[in-house]
Amino acid sequence: MSLGFVITASCSIILGFVTYYLWIWTYWIRRGVNGPRGKPFVGVLDVLLDHEKPGLLQLSEWTKKYGKVYGITDGTQKTLIVSDPSMVYGIFVKAECADNFYGRKLNPLQGNPETDQRVHMLAAQGGRWKRLRTISSASFSNASLRRMMGTVEDSALELLRHIEEKTAGGKPIDMLKFYQEYTMDVISRVAMGQRDTQMFKNPFVDLVRKVFCGDRKNILLFCQVFPTFGYMIRDLTFKFSGKIPAFTLYTVVRDAVFARIAQRQRELEMGAELGESQDFIDLFLDARSETKEMGLTEEEEEKEFSKRGMKVTKVLSTDEVVGQCFLFLIGGFDTTALALSYVTYCLATNPEVQKKVQEEVDREFGDKDVEFDKLGRLKYMDCVLKETLRLYPLAAISNARKCMRTTTVNGIEIEAGTYVQVDTWSLHYDTSIWGEDAMEFKPERWTTDNPLEHKGAYLPFGLGVRQCIGMRLAQMEQKVLLTHILKKYSFETGPMTSIPLKLVGSATTSPENVYVHLTSRHL
């Protein structure tokens, strides 16, 4: 092989590489769509991954400049940013459009949704997603939530004991850290089979904090700019776990699932009956041992699986059991703790609203037990929770879809392979939707059924068929804990309370801390 050939081949590869990335970088220019251009190769990805200035807030700044529909490139992904509610509703809900937007916006570290057997429900698409969603839905049925109620309340009372101990002498506490302990305790017990509370000694907590708070910018940037290497890094990391917190956590979850499988096998060999599922692992393992009709037609299965060389099955594989448990551990920990933290801040800075919530709690429960069937009576608390998530849409990054077939929405052609990301923060603060008081915390705007909640203007838990499956569990956790706390304490601001909150994060938007004083109502 001559030196000239090597040089020519190398130059051709480099030229092809540069041409490809420049073609992506100039995609929206060729389409005549406005938007920030960013840098060659990375686009605006480096800005979106800035932990100190959340990318979701940066989208709001760009929306003010470029309007409700504009384009960005983030690595090799071409993304249309949307904050027009009618367009959002069309993409997420209307069948004629939504059926063409069933993929998620993923980083390669999350796996290839078409081929990776470890992909969980959040990342899955098509027939696999429908199967995982249907099996998982039983975990969040009314009967399942009722069964979890005792565990949730026990964790709430345990947190109350820790709060009482830590606030002795009027000391302020960072409620974010306390809520993280609570949500991890709940999800570890209802999902992972932990039998008793391990609050403030649960090894999962620090590990999951690293998943959300660690500096992942460089590796995420590299993997999204070079997706092929991203998939390779994912596979290697699974084999040599330890460097990336998410994969370390996955390994811990995998070991727990394998241990439960071995335990169940021993019980069956000894003639024990399985009985009712006690946690998510049990439920998913039951799905492995039963063939269930998932509602997929042969045509759907063929379309979504067989053509990609994947085995068509209606039960969960062991990898899928692990993936689902991992997803619920991550999702059940962070978003609910953040929601509680934001509610605490809103109540502490709006004492008149807090008083109304306390009056409702006293009226409905007083000295009575907090019962599952009576949580629905907390109507004003519902309004407070909704308004909090309007002002702080903490998981807005999930409001994104991949266009699977070229589709025209509101006169705009969106090509297959393009991503759509909703600018949820702009949508939730839009004065043309919410009125001139959109910046204000006003729970009363929810005292009557608000049609905006269903028309693409309000997306705290997503929208359409892929709306957050754990929404009702999260709401139950929040109501139970807030009821117990507000029966006994009032939240008050102090010198350590950040007003306004300093927000950080890239995956979710989190307050850096939420320091408040808890003052006893019954001195």
- In degrees, rounded to 5, the angle at the alpha carbon of residue 233 between the alpha carbons of residues 228 and 237 is 155
394 belongs to a structural domain: yes
97 annotated ligand binder: no
pTM of this prediction? 0.89
Task: Provide the domain limits for residue 47.
Answer: 33-520
What is the model's pLDDT at position 275?
58
> Does residue 153 form part of some domain?
yes
Report the C-alpha gap between 89 and 385 in whole angstroms: 22
Is 12 among the domain residues? no
The CA distances from residue 458 to 99, 431, 472, 473, in Å, are 21, 13, 17, 19
**Domain-embedded: residue 207:** yes
Number of neighbours of residue 239 by Cβ within 10 angstroms: 7
Is 25 part of a structural domain of the chain? Answer: no
* pLDDT attached to residue 306: 37
pLDDT by residue, tens only, the chain of 523 residues:
677 666 776 677 777 777 888 888 899 999 999 999 988 888 999 899 888 888 899 999 999 999 999 999 998 899 999 999 999 999 999 877 888 998 888 877 777 787 777 788 888 888 888 888 888 888 888 988 998 999 999 999 999 999 999 987 789 999 999 999 999 999 988 888 788 888 999 888 888 887 776 666 777 777 777 777 767 776 666 665 556 677 788 888 888 888 877 877 787 777 666 556 666 777 777 765 554 444 444 444 444 433 344 443 556 778 888 888 888 888 888 899 999 999 999 999 999 999 999 999 999 998 888 999 999 999 999 999 999 999 999 888 899 999 999 999 999 999 999 999 999 999 999 999 999 999 999 999 998 876 666 689 999 999 988 999 999 999 999 999 999 999 999 999 999 999 999 999 877 889 999 999 999 987 5
Q: Cα Rg for the chain, rounded, in angstroms?
A: 24
Residue 136 CB contacts under 8 Å (≥ 6 apart), including other chains = 121, 284, 324, 469
Spacing of C-alpha 446 from chain mean position: 24
- Please state, in angstroms and rounded to a whole number, the distance separating the CA atoms of residues 442 and 352: 11
Among the listed residues 276, 337, 367, 350, the one whose alpha carbon sits nearest the alpha carbon of residue 482: 337
CATH number at residue 402: 1.10.630.10
Phi, psi of 425, rounded to the nearest 5 degrees: -60, -45
Residue 13 is assigned to a structural domain of this protein: no
* Tokens read off for 396: 């807005």
Place of tokens 């569990």: 473
pLDDT value, residue 311: 43
Residue 341 lies in a domain: yes
Q: Is residue 14 part of a domain?
A: no
Structurally, the chain folds into a number of domains equal to 1
